[in-house]
Chains A and B, each alone.
Chain A
Amino acid sequence: MGPIEPGNVKLKKINMLTTVPHHPSPLEVGDTVTVTVKFPIGHYRTPTYIRGKQGIISRNLGLYINPEKEAFGKNAGDKLWYYMVSFLQKDIWEDYKGLDTDVLEIEIFENWLEPVKTTNNE
C-alpha cells in the first residue's frame, strides 16, 4: 500500500456521503403500527379501508419515490421508506366471514404509519 494521497481521501469522503443513510428506517419488521387516519387531497396510495387499522410490519421494502409528490412532478430524490404491512382480516372488517387467521397484506409508505408501543408485562 502506498501513502494516502489527498485525492483518495476525497474520494472516500464522497463515497461515505453517498452510502451512509441520512434517513434510517424508522420502523422494523415485527413492529406494530397503526395506519394514520387523514383525508388529504392529492394522489395517495393508502386506501381508506385500511386507515385507522392496526397491523404488523412484515417486510421492509426499502426506499421508494414518494408518489404523493411524484404525482405533481416533484420527485427529485425524495424517497420514503416503504413497508409491507400485515393485518388480520378480522381486525379490518367487523363482520368478516372467514378464518380468524386470514390476512391482508398491503404496502404503505412511512408517512402513513404510526408505531404502536406494545406493553410488555413480563
Chain B
Amino acid sequence: MNNDQNHPHKHDHPHDHTPIVNEEKPGYYEILEISIRELMIEKGLIKPDDVRKQIELLDSRSPVLGQKLVVRAWLDPEFRKRLLTNGVAAAEEMGITIYDDTAFTVLEDTIDTHHMIVCTLCSCYPRAVLGLPPDWYKSKQYRSRAVKEPRAVLAEFGTIVSDDIQIVINDSTANQRYMVLPLRPAGTENFTEEQLEALVTRDTMIGVTIPHLN
C-alpha cells in the first residue's frame, strides 16, 4: 500500500489525513472584539445571535438597491422630488430600510454640477443602499485626495469633468450618508428599467464615474 496520503485515491479512507490546524494567533483587534462581544453577551446587552443577524443584514445590501432608487427617480419625477427631500422616507417607500439611524441624503447631479462622496475621517458609506464600500473608498489615498484634488482623482477613474462643470464634494463625517443621483444619459429614452439599471453601477452612485452607454 502506498503511504503517500496526498495523491488522489479511491479507497474509503483507512488512514488519517493531515489534520486542519489553525496556527494563526488572533490579532489585537480580534481579541478586543471577542472580549467586548463576550462581555456584552454576559451582561445581557446583546444575544449571541444578534451579531450574526447584523452581519447577515449588512451582507444582504448591495448596489442593486441604489440602482432601483436611481432608475425610479429617472422615470418618476414625483418620486425624484421625494427622494431628494427625504431620502430615508423615499427608500423606505421602496422597501429599503435605513437600519442604522443615519440620515440618508441624495445629491442631485445636474448639467452643470457633479457630486462625489468621501469620508475623510473613516469609511462612512451609504451601506443600506450600496452594501459594503470598496477597498479604495476606505484607502487613505482616496480619502485625502478626493477633497483636495477631486478633478485629478476623477480623471484617474476615467472621468474627465470639463471646466464649465462645478464639482461638489460631500465629506460624510458623522450622521449623514450620501448617495449621488447621477444624470440619465442621452440616448436611453427607449430603455427598459433593466437596461437603465445596468448603467447605474456602484461607482456612479459614489460619483467617481457617470452612467454612460458603451
Contact = CB atoms under 8 A, between A and B. Distances in A.
Contact of B148 (A64, A67, A93): A93
A108 interface: yes
Contact of A103 (B103, B151, B168, B172): B168
A109 B174 CA distance: 9
B123 interface: no
A105 B120 contact: no
* Range of interface residues on A (Cβ < 8 Å): 20 to 34
B166 A103 contact: yes
A75 B76 CA distance: 40
Contacts of B168: 102-105
Interface size class of B (residues with CB under 8 A): 20 to 34
A64 B174 contact: yes
Contacts of B73: none
Contacts, number: 67
Contact of B150 (A67, A98, A101, A108): A98
Contacts of A45: 121, 173-174
- Chain A interface SS verdict (over half): mixed
Contacts of A102: 150, 166-169
Contacts of A93: 148
Contact of A47 (B151, B171, B176): B171
A61 B163 contact: no
Contacts of A99: 163, 165-167
Contacts of B171: 47, 50, 104-106
A102 to B, nearest CB: 5
Interface of A: 45-47, 49-50, 61, 64, 67, 82, 84, 89, 92-93, 96-99, 101-109
24 contacts: A46-B173, A47-B121, A47-B171, A49-B120, A49-B147, A49-B148, A61-B103, A61-B175, A67-B174, A82-B174, A84-B176, A89-B150, A89-B169, A93-B148, A99-B163, A99-B165, A102-B150, A102-B167, A102-B169, A104-B171, A106-B170, A106-B171, A107-B176, A109-B174
